[in-house]
């Protein structure tokens, strides 16, 4: 069995429950998209870079409404969220050409949710050979690109026109 280790994330997971402000609600209303790593907002959804990524171009898509579980989504919210996720995958494909993706929801702390109170979809591009010895031996993740550069690159690939 191969195990994917991400020990640098534990400090974030521990702090997430202590955060006074929800990062997804903040991104939904942000007047500083650069600071909040916002890629795109639609009427019902928001997409932002993960500030503690597993890989370059790790994006999270969330409903703008603060809800914790998928069964609480209205049909129009669900359609909007997955349409935005589709748009994000297309932008990552065009800009980064990954070999595959991990896409999913973590519902509840035991499932790995760092922010339990606000539902979000993780979109994590993967490349052949994107694992190395650094996380295992040095508890260090090598990120080859600055978040601001990733933000700029992905924004350039997204359809312009603001909210849908």
Domains of the chain: 7-157 (3.30.428.10)
pLDDT category at 70 given cuts 50, 70, 90 is very high
pTM score, two decimals? 0.79
Catalytic-residue membership of 66: no
pLDDT tens for each residue of 78-100: 999 999 999 999 999 999 999 99
d(CA 64, CA 142): 31
d(CA 84, CA 164): 10
Options 58, 66, 118, 120, the catalytic residue: 120
CA 13 distance to own-chain centroid: 14
């Amino acid at each position: 069995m191969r195990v994917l280790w991400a020990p640098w994330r534990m400090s974030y997971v521990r702090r997430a429950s202590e955060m006074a402000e929800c990062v997804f609600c903040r991104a939904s209303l942000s007047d500083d998209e650069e600071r909040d790593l916002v890629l795109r907002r639609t009427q019902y959804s928001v997409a932002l870079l993960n500030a503690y990524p597993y890989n370059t171009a790790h994006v999270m898509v969330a409903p703008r409404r603060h809800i914790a579980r998928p069964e609480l989504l209205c049909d129009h919210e669900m359609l909007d969220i997955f349409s935005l996720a589709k748009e994000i995958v297309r932008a990552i494909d065009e800009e980064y050409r990954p070999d595959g993706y991990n896409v999913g929801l973590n519902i509840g702390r035991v499932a790995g949710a760092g922010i339990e109170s606000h539902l979000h979809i993780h979109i994590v591009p993967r490349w052949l050979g994107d694992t190395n010895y650094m996380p295992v031996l040095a508890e260090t993740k090598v990120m080859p690109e600055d978040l601001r550069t990733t933000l700029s690159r992905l924004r350039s690939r997204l359809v312009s026109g603001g909210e849908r």
